[in-house]
Structure 1
Amino acid sequence: MITTRRRACALIGATATIGLPNLPFAQARLSYDLQPKPAGPGIWMIEGSTDYFSMDNGGAIVNCVLLQGDSGLIVIDTGPSRRFGEALAGVARTLDLRGVSAVVNTHHHPDHFFGNQVFATQPIHALGDTIRLAQDEGDGFADNMYRLLGDWMRGTEVVPPRNVLDGGEVTIDGRAFTVLPLSGHTAADMALLDQRSGLLIAGDLVFHDRAPTTPSADLAQWSAALDTLEATNAAAILPGHGPLDQAGASIAQTRAYLDWLNTTLRQSARDGLDMIEVMQLPLPERFAAMGAQPDEYQRSVSHLFPDIELAVLPRAN
């Protein structure tokens, strides 16, 4: 059941947009125009905005993937809301009248699994730790998403994945994947290599022309995960955010940004800068041009700098 707070946030979002008397119009106005783009033979992507969550984009910032299976389409990540999941299901039916046969969630952040309730009758796969994290943190994420997106979230309930995927070779609805259980962006990040096409579906371990998000990040583990992804020699890379990468540049770009971020925050701690001063540092041009900047950099400072300060600065005895 939707909590009172979430229900109130949904109403506030509608009121701020057009006023309570026009709620049916609000529901028609708040709709997602999802356009599938070919990403390989029998593969399509829904490309998300490279901005942060906003009332303008309805939280549609994530890349979702649809792959042809034997009995329907396999969906990788389901978006930020019930409304998005319904739009995604509609797109799937235009590609295959049988609709969605299975779902995979790459990790537990809300833009990747809050559309799950639309597909609750189908198998919904994830790493075991992702399932646990979605169960533990899902309600908190939902409260935050309702505050950010208001009426876009109307009717959205947390439906964690329930079918555990381990690493290695797996077959989902007749399609073979190599599952890579990793971490770094969160404590449990799944990447999938589609064996038929060689496409690497990297989830949020890889960002492309969009600044990486770090609320759950461990930068050392993330760097190790990028090593593993690079070693797959994938034919193409579909990142969690940003355009399809057919040239292999996105892993290097993600690594360069995270290395710069880590180095900058550590040097700032050694230089005695406070958090506000670190947030005001100029970004290198190649990173300033990424989507969601400078806001994403400033959020990363708030996420990471306190622990880096503790690690870098000497302790008084």
Structure 2
Amino acid sequence: MSAETTTLTRRAGLALGLCAAASPWLPGFASAAPLAYTLAPIEIAPRVWTIYGAPEPITRANGGAIANITILDTGDGAVLIDAGPSHRYGTALKALAERLTGKPVVRVYLTHLHADHVLGATAFEAGTVSGGPALRGDLKRAGTDLTNGMYRVAGDWMRGTGVPEPGRVAEGGVETIGERRFRILPLAGHTREDLCLFEERSGLLFPGDLVFLDRAATTPDADPERWRGALTTLAEIDHSLLIPGHGPVEAGRRGIDQTRRWLDTVEARIGEGFARGLDVTELMEAPLPDWTDGLAVARYEFARSVMHLLPGLERRDLPRLAPA
């Protein structure tokens, strides 16, 4: 959603604008007032629930609720991994977490800057919201553009949403909350700062949007080489379940391998097309391998990736014209 420089550039704005294209209406997300998110938690482990995001782009129909959000019960209170796309979502999430656990929310970990994960944090007390060292500064610089872009795409779902101000900094190391031990791993690649959490007692791995499963990965702020390095780190963690930022919860490393394969495919297709002299429109229409047929929104995300990644190739390989 945000650009590499944490401003909403013209190209990134166009990419976000694509989200407003018409798509099939998603049951459970009413478009008529009053708007209300239907949160359907699935228990993935004892006292741990995931709310699956819609495998779609952000639209007015789904209110931006496309990311996975997880609630963990601890002896000290509820812990959330990410907060959803809007204040309205965050309010519903807070009520759900308190109902499921019978306790207040004591921590909300934000994995990275993107709107579908962080803007719901405005519904929580700042002192419970925790993000990586760079997140607060990134939100101050880019938060208004991020929020405005979501208002344009999702409309009235965003009513009351402002820019979150995390009150806690999630440094690398271990944070103990109740009986749970969260190992915090500062990584990068999907964005310039991606927070991964590993709950050591249950073996649950939360890589945020470093891992997508059965949905094409998004690349608005991607550094593919750093992303591959992060995936290598994640693959070395002996986990019981992996909860991706988008897609089904599974044991094993299928999501890690699939995300790497998508990055390799996208870079190869864009690089080959650029070398052949294809323009942006021609590149967007380039064929994708058959294996991507099983990924939600693959064609859509490939088109966005052309806009995100092609400028880097142009800057690197096209000659600069001398001033007249």
| TM-score, length-scaled by structure 1 | 0.88
Identify the residue that residue 95 of structure 1 maps to in structure 2: 100
- Pick the aligned partner of 2:160 from 143, 155, 162: 155
- Determine helix, strand or coil for the equivalent of 2:214: coil
Query: Which residue among 77, 82, 107 is the counterpart of 1:72?
Result: 77
Matched, 1:31 2:43: no
For structure 1, which segment, 124-133 or 248-257, has the greater mean C-alpha deviation from structure 2 after superposition?
Answer: 124-133
1:66 counterpart SS class? strand
Measured after TM superposition, the shift of residue 173 of structure 1 is 4.5
Q: Which residue of the other structure, out of 217, 220, 223, is the alignment partner of 1:215?
A: 220
**Match of residue 266, structure 1, among 250, 266, 271:** 271
Q: 1-side partners of 2:182 and 2:318: how far apart? A: 45
Correspondence for 1:40? 45
1:254-293 to 2 correspondences below 5 Å? 254-293=259-298
Aligned to 2:316: 311
Q: How does 1:163-178 map to 2 (within 5 A)?
A: 163-178=168-183
Cα distance in 2 between the residues matched to 1:177 and 1:53: 30
After superposition, the C-alpha distances for 1:212-271 in whole angstroms (9 at most, x for unaligned) are 111111001101000000011222110001110223210000000001111121222222
* Maintained 8 Å contact 2:269/2:286: no
Deviation at 1:196, TM superposition (A): 1.1
Shift in Å, 1:207: 0.3
Counterpart in the other structure of 1:196:
201
**C-alpha distance 110-173 of structure 1, shift in aligned 2 (>3 A):** farther
1:24-71 per-position Cα deviation (integer Å, ceiling 9, x unaligned): x9442x111101111212211111001000111111001011111222
Tell me which moved more, 303-312 or 222-231: 303-312
CA apart distance, 1:310: 2.8
Per the alignment, residue 111 of structure 1 pairs with 116
Change (3 A) 1:315 1:269: farther
| Structure 2 residue aligned with 1:234 | 239
Alignment partner of 1:190: what SS?
Answer: strand
Counting only pairs closer than 5 Å after superposition, residues 135-146 of structure 1 correspond to structure 2 as 135-146=140-151
Secondary structure in 2 matching 1:128? coil
1:51 and 2:56 equivalent? yes
Moved more, 80-89 or 116-125: 116-125
CA distance in 2, matches of 1:160, 1:135: 8
Does the Cα contact within 8 Å between 1:73 and 1:101 map onto a contact in 2?
A: yes
Give me the CA root mean square deviation: 1.8
Q: Is the 8 A contact 1:53 1:149 kept in 2?
A: yes
SS at match of 1:178: strand
Say if 2:78 and 2:107, in contact at 8 Å, map to a contact too. Answer: yes
How far the C-alpha of 1:159 sits from its partner, in A, is 1.3
CA distance in 2, matches of 1:49, 1:85: 16
Once the two structures are overlaid, the 10-residue window that deviates more, 120-129 or 141-150, is 120-129
> Given the superposition, is the C-alpha separation of residues 312 and 260 from structure 1 closer, same or farther in structure 2, using an over 3 Å criterion?
farther
**Which residue of structure 2 aligns with residue 129 of structure 1?**
134
Q: Given the alignment, which residue of 199, 207, 210 partners 1:205?
A: 210
- The offset of 1:309, in angstroms, is 2.9
36-45 or 136-145: which moved more? 36-45
Contact 2:127 2:166 in 1 (8 A): no
- 2:126–2:167 CA contact under 8 A, matched in 1: no
State the one-letter code of the partner of 2:86. Answer: S
Per the TM alignment, residue 174 of structure 1 is displaced from its structure 2 partner at its CA by 4.5
Determine if contact 2:112/2:135 at 8 Å carries over to the other structure: yes
1:85 counterpart SS class: helix
Question: 1:97 offset after TM fit, Å?
Answer: 2.1
Letter in 2 for 1:253: Q
How far off is 1:313 after superposition? 4.7
Contact 1:266 1:312 in 2 (8 A): no
Q: How far apart in 1 are the matches of 2:277 and 2:32?
A: 50
- 1:195 Cα deviation (Å)? 0.5
Do the aligned partners of 1:181 and 1:189 also contact (CA within 8 Å) in 2?
A: yes
Alignment match, 1:180: 185
- Write out per-residue CA displacement over residues 275-304 of structure 1, whole angstroms, 9 at most, x where no aligned residue: 111101011122133112311110110011
Unmatched runs of 5 consecutive residues or more in structure 2: 1-19, 21-30
Alpha carbons 1:51, 1:61 under 8 Å: kept:
yes
Deviations 1:129-158 (A, max 9, x none): 122212211100010000001111111111
Unaligned stretches of 5+ residues in structure 1: 1-12, 14-24
* 1:109 Cα offset (Å): 0.8
